[in-house]
Chain A
């Protein structure tokens, strides 16, 4: 039994239209949500109010101390009960693998993006904040207009690197039987007994995408370095 390229070619539409679309959409949604909540968490962690910074710190440390697979699992089984509790239903509400995955990845990644944004915010000189306040801007205006745009820009390469990791991590949704790129390939592999072909192909595709993105990040890094 030789290496069968045909199975790959035959399954390309399914792999990309279903699988890769899932993977990319999940990555983009979790990135957007993760950066948004991560930034809020970072602002909370840096808050002068002890309770606020403690709560954010506890959340971040919790998320960073639990394996992602476990969080995905745990969340998938817990969300229906939380939903039932929130909406006062007697039965656990139905939450599909898709929605569960989006929420889990957003919340999980928020912890990592938080640490990146925290470093970014701290990299902005104290004088910038002073100068915003001195003009009469309030906390949110100073953050939104002055600190975060600079922090975001300084941290862009690191944020994108984290997103590449997120892109690879989304493959863990196989534990809740979602059909991402890897999941789609696994289904074909099992159906047609073409494990070697399919898994090799998947590995090559992940490598090409991740490596190209990291090259892009590198170029971006150089450009930012010149401008500054």
Chain B
């Protein structure tokens, strides 16, 4: 579904990604972890071309992301993305947030888009808030709306860029629950997160990044059992201490 081959990226002369390669198969849940500044967010943003990369190739559902001839809006509309800071549109109501892409990009009628949006809103347990503005919701609620918004486009895969790291601790679980459910339904997911509990529960594979490189790319059991790199062991021992 998603294939990343030898991807390198520079900001000026500073190299942020070095020869990254991995695959995400259909229905697979892959968790990407690693210390801050290791390039995880950059890598996931390369997958739907929000960040350009200078070397290598990324292929999503048979379409090359880096190819200048690729219709990027069309490709992106098929890949859902959830951001660390939710990025709901603050000047639109929850319902408008849910229907905008469906109407403008997929060409659905307003009624159709609304029905779909409200159905997904119910799924994330927020039907009562359909007419509110994002600013009136808590962080956890906003992030659930953001997930519903991404799902409204009927994506073939979902990208999550640290979806819980801007949340208060008591709101993390309501978001993770939605994600776990999604994973169990067989959604293809690439998730940048520090939530190792989530990784243990639903991930098929765990990728560990450090300094712009993919250091570990293991099955979940391998990763939590015996990570090969010292850096990954250190990282795990730090975040699993408590």
User: B80 contacts which chain A residues (CB < 8 A)?
Assistant: 134
Chain A's closest residue to B87 (CB) is A131
Does A146 have its Cβ within 8 Å of any Cβ on chain B? Answer: yes
The distance in angstroms between the C-alpha atoms of A137 and B135, with both chains bound, is 23
Q: Evaluate contact between B104 and A134: CB separation under 8 angstroms.
A: no
Q: Evaluate contact between A130 and B104: CB separation under 8 angstroms.
A: no
Does A64 have its Cβ within 8 Å of any Cβ on chain B? Answer: no
The distance in angstroms between the C-alpha atoms of A145 and B101, with both chains bound, is 10
Which of B72, B83, B100, B104 is most buried by chain A, counting CB atoms within 10 A of its CB? B104
Q: How far is the CB of B219 from chain A (nearest CB, A)?
A: 29
Q: Mark B206-224, 1 if CB is under 8 A from A, else 0.
A: 0000000000000000000
Q: Contacts A127-B83, A145-B104 known; A134 to B73 CB distance under 8 Å?
A: no
Does B89 have its Cβ within 8 Å of any Cβ on chain A? Answer: yes
The distance in angstroms between the C-alpha atoms of A198 and B78, with both chains bound, is 68
Q: Contacts A134-B76, A137-B73 known; A150 to B90 CB distance under 8 Å?
A: yes
Q: Evaluate contact between A141 and B89: CB separation under 8 angstroms.
A: no
Q: Contacts A130-B87, A131-B87, A149-B91 known; A136 to B45 CB distance under 8 Å?
A: no
Q: Evaluate contact between B153 and A136: CB separation under 8 angstroms.
A: yes
User: B101 contacts which chain A residues (CB < 8 A)?
Assistant: 135-137
Q: How far is the CB of B160 from chain A (nearest CB, A)?
A: 12
* Chain B interface size, under 10 / 10 to 19 / 20 to 34 / 35 or more: 20 to 34
* Chain A interface size, under 10 / 10 to 19 / 20 to 34 / 35 or more: 10 to 19
Q: How far is the CB of A220 from chain B (nearest CB, A)?
A: 16
Does A125 have its Cβ within 8 Å of any Cβ on chain B? Answer: yes
Q: Contacts A133-B76, A134-B48, A135-B153 known; A127 to B105 CB distance under 8 Å?
A: no
Does A138 have its Cβ within 8 Å of any Cβ on chain B? Answer: yes
Q: Evaluate contact between A136 and B100: CB separation under 8 angstroms.
A: no
User: B81 contacts which chain A residues (CB < 8 A)?
Assistant: 130-131, 134
Q: Mark B43-85, 1 if CB is under 8 A from A, else 0.
A: 0010010100000000000000000000011101111110101
Does A128 have its Cβ within 8 Å of any Cβ on chain B? Answer: yes
The distance in angstroms between the C-alpha atoms of A20 and B104, with both chains bound, is 44
Q: Evaluate contact between A135 and B105: CB separation under 8 angstroms.
A: yes
User: B89 contacts which chain A residues (CB < 8 A)?
Assistant: 128, 131-132, 145-146
Does B149 have its Cβ within 8 Å of any Cβ on chain A? Answer: yes
Q: Contacts A137-B104, A150-B90 known; A130 to B45 CB distance under 8 Å?
A: yes
| Complex interface residues of chain B between 113 and 148 (CB less than 8 A to chain A) | 135
Q: How far is the CB of B204 from chain A (nearest CB, A)?
A: 24
Which of A132, A135, A146, A228 is most buried by chain B, counting CB atoms within 10 A of its CB? A135
The distance in angstroms between the C-alpha atoms of A161 and B137, with both chains bound, is 33
Chain B's closest residue to A227 (CB) is B135
Q: Evaluate contact between B73 and A125: CB separation under 8 angstroms.
A: no
Q: How far is the CB of B91 from chain A (nearest CB, A)?
A: 5
Does A88 have its Cβ within 8 Å of any Cβ on chain B? Answer: no
User: B74 contacts which chain A residues (CB < 8 A)?
Assistant: 136
Q: How far is the CB of A224 from chain B (nearest CB, A)?
A: 12
The distance in angstroms between the C-alpha atoms of A115 and B185, with both chains bound, is 49
User: B48 contacts which chain A residues (CB < 8 A)?
Assistant: 133-134
Does A219 have its Cβ within 8 Å of any Cβ on chain B? Answer: no
Does A153 have its Cβ within 8 Å of any Cβ on chain B? Answer: yes
Q: Evaluate contact between A134 and B50: CB separation under 8 angstroms.
A: yes
Interchain residue pairs A-B with the least CB separation, the first 5 = A136-B77, A131-B87, A135-B101, A134-B81, A136-B105
A125-B85, A135-B101, A136-B101 given; name 12 further pairs at CB < 8 Å: A128-B87, A130-B87, A131-B83, A131-B88, A131-B89, A134-B48, A134-B79, A134-B80, A136-B73, A136-B78, A136-B106, A141-B105
